Amino acid sequence: MTTFVLVHGAWHGPWAWDRMVPLLHSAGAHTLTPDLGTAGDCGLHDHAEAVVAALDTVREEEDALVLVGHSYAGLVVREAADMRPDAVGHIVLVDGWAGSDGASIFSLAPAAFVTAARTAAETRGDGRRIRAPPPAAFGIVDTDDAAWLAARMLPQPLRTFTEPTRLSGAVDRIPGTAVYCRPQTYPFDQLGNAVGYRTQALDGPHDVMLTDPGPLARMLLEAGSFKNGKREV
């Protein structure tokens, strides 16, 4: 039995995986969808602790635990896995940011992204939060899907983008897969390669779990069959 711990990205919540969870369950897998939360002045370390709390609820007799991070949560799940390296069998990044110790979104993203985020926090937030971009920024153009997404997104604490990751190096012993969406918005394939993950392309927008849950679910299930960098048969 495989347990997938599905961690949502910035501005999103556990609901981001609503279309994925039934597909994984129908394949016989278990799922957990921790809520990173946006209360107060929380940062990346707070979010990593929330994921660790979810990992600690998984029974030791589970055959495999796959930790999945979308977008911003790529950094979060790598820090959480670094704290629980013996619990995680595989890491999957879905269009996920990733880097070595000390990396943050602002250290990895282009200058234009950083400037836009800081400006949004200063002019349309309270200086500590970044209001959610429109659904089109995540590749969601269908009218119904865009309305569904816009009604759920929340402001993102600025500190989650500035706080650097704390990695001991233990996470580097865990095999990983970097799924990058095409057409690409940012070089998520290169970021995955840089941390030693195999890369896989998936046609779809950044919020591919909303538009193409079937193909992504199949990729996650296939990734769950990998241990120690090799596929189990």
Please name which of 159, 162, 211, 174 lies closest in space to residue 78, comparing C-alpha atoms: 174
In order of 55, 68, 104, 198, the CA distances from 59 in angstroms are 9, 18, 31, 28
Tokens 């500190």 correspond to what residue? Answer: 159
In the prediction, which pLDDT does 127 show? 87
pLDDT of residue 229: 40
State residue 191's pLDDT score.
98
Among 165, 45, 169, which residue's Cα sits nearest to residue 104? 165
Enumerate long-range contacts of 76-79, CB under 8 Å, 24 or more apart: 76/7, 76/36, 76/44, 76/47, 76/48, 76/51, 77/5, 77/7, 77/51, 78/165, 78/167, 78/171, 78/195, 79/44, 79/45, 79/48, 79/165, 79/166, 79/167, 79/171
Determine the pLDDT at residue 56. 95
Angle at CA of residue 65, ends 62 and 70, nearest 5°: 150
Please tell me the distance from the alpha carbon of residue 83 to that of residue 131, in angstroms, as a whole number: 30
Euclidean distance between CA atoms 178 and 199, whole angstroms: 5
Give me the pLDDT at residue 226, please: 59
What tens digit of pLDDT does each residue of 61-86 get? 666 899 999 999 999 999 999 999 99
Domains defined for the chain, CATH in brackets: 2-107+158-231 (3.40.50.1820)
pTM passes above 0.85: yes
Q: What pLDDT, on the 0 to 100 scale, is given for residue 126? A: 80
Q: Which of 51, 89, 106 is nearest to 73 (CA)?
A: 51
Per-residue pLDDT in tens (0 to 9) along the chain, 233 residues = 899 999 999 999 999 999 999 999 999 999 999 999 988 789 999 999 999 999 999 977 666 899 999 999 999 999 999 999 999 999 999 999 999 999 999 999 999 999 999 999 998 768 899 999 999 999 999 999 999 999 999 999 999 999 999 999 999 999 999 999 999 999 999 999 999 999 999 999 999 999 999 999 999 999 887 544 433 43
Question: pLDDT value at position 224?
Answer: 81
